[in-house]
Amino acid sequence: MNYLSNTKAQKHFILYGFSMGAMATYTFLDRKELEASKYDIQKIIVDSPLSDVPSILKAGSDKLGLPEFIFEDAYENFNKSTNGYADRLKMGTLLQDNNIPILLIQSNHDQTTPSQHTKEQLELLKGKNITTWFMDSALHVKLYTHPDYRDRYEKTVSEFIQSDLSVK
Q: What is the largest CA-CA distance in the chain?
A: 54
Model pLDDT for residues 74-100, shown as the tens digit of each residue: 999 999 999 999 999 999 999 999 999
Helix orientation angle between 53-64 and 68-81, rounded to the nearest 10 degrees: 150
Distances (CA, A) of 68 to 65, 80, 164: 9, 18, 48
pLDDT of res. 126: 93
Residue ranges in the chain assigned as alpha helix (H): 2-8, 20-30, 53-64, 68-81, 91-94, 115-123, 150-162
Do 42 and 16 contact (CB within 8 A), yes or no?
no
Superfamily (CATH) of domain 2-52+89-162: Alpha/Beta hydrolase fold, catalytic domain (3.40.50.1820)
> Is residue 102 scored above 50 in pLDDT?
yes
pLDDT of res. 22: 96
pTM reported for the whole predicted model: 0.90
Please give the average per-residue pLDDT across 115-128, as a whole number: 95
